[in-house]
Structure 1
Amino acid sequence: MSDNPSDIIALAIEKGVTLGCAESLTGGLVASALVDIPGASTAFKGSVVAYDLMVKHDLLGVSAALLAEKGAVNAEVARAMAEGAQAALGVDLAVSTTGVAGPDRDPVSGAKPGLFFVALAGGELGTMVREVQVEGDRGEIRSAARRAALLALYDALAMRE
């Protein structure tokens, strides 16, 4: 298991797998970590930073009804974001992040700061979603979500033949 972007890019290149992201909570931190690696363009194809609800709907195809009813901080939205990114970017694996960095609770769901979801579409087991609750300030929460997303990518790559 590794959250090292160099390991992720090397494994993706070795296995001929393309990668993409849909980020809300992390606001581009996952994509930035990956493109910091020389040669990343061989495997990493792009990212959608979908911070606003309508961007999640318009660019990633997340249901407007789901967003209106439950807000952005839930497993269903994380799943839809990852699957939407996979389709929009035409990649083998796509990871998504959505959650509450704080300091306030999510206005729709009431979720408290530190709750986030990471989804991975295109893995051997289908789309997987992980729910995580951490303590910390905005930076620490976003950093934890970045790490969880990178771990999800590495794990999915490690499982591929």
Structure 2
Amino acid sequence: MSSSSKVFLILFVCIFSLLILHGTSTEFEVGEKLTKGWEVPLPKHPHVYNEWAQKNRFKVNDTLHFRYKKDSVMVVTNSEYDKCGSAQPLFFSNNGDTTFVLDRPGLFYFISGVTGHCPKGQKMIVKVLDVENSSDDDQQSGNQTAAEDTKKKSDATQALGHWSLPSFMVLFIVGYHIMG
């Protein structure tokens, strides 16, 4: 094995190890199969978003994808969630196609920013599990310090978030044959 092949193999093992430690992320379509996107739920089913969130298992670096028309998505504190309003949300987007990265374990509180939508049920609590320390699964994010750390960039992505194990395997095989 040539020295360039050894370097490539070492590099591949390091990247592969990082991928395994980092884990893979999942993109969730908010309300999938239950609603037409992020909208005011039907009166007969006002808790559709929390029911949907409870049926899913979220982990750090997963993303939530919100699709909506003439609405908005806000991340707020627990007390603002209960009040259905915030003058200074931790995150705000109204572009109709919002992706939000769940960047830490704990609870995230989402509400619509359109007056009257949240009291009609357009709100959701998402619990993100701490897979590295499962005993902390019940960690709550209601305190202000954790909530302040929640401020987001709407299209933030993780460096390896779009790379999958098959992608790295193909990269390795092609690289190995090129390095020969």
Same-fold status (TM-score > 0.5):
no
State the structure with more CA Rg.
Answer: 2
**TM-score normalized with structure 1 length:** 0.28
Compare the two structures and name the one with the higher helix fraction: 1
